[in-house]
Amino acid sequence: MNKINVNRLLLLVVLTIGILSCNKKTEMKKDIAETEKIPGIVLENMDTSVDPREDFYNYVNGN
């Protein structure tokens, strides 16, 4: 085989693998997304009676 045929064969193999890998189902990702908790701020735990400029830690975390 000459160099051009080897390059074409390699390109064909790489493209075939790329196309086949795109067809995989993402069921596993859906399961992870459903059970994963989203981090954030719980507004019910905030102590709004505290001035955030004076004591931000207690303002955000409550008593």
CB 49 within 8 A of CB 60: no
At 14-59, the pLDDT tens digits run 999 888 887 666 556 665 656 666 777 788 889 999 999 999 999 9
Specify burial of residue 60 (Cβ count, 10 A radius: 0-12, 13-18, 19+). middle
SS (H, E, C) 14-34: HHHHHHHHHCCCCHHHHHHHH
pTM attached to this predicted model = 0.36
Per DSSP, 43 falls in state G
- Amino acid at position 32, single letter: I
Q: Which two tokens stand for residue 10?
A: 């390699």
Domain ranges of the chain: 3-61
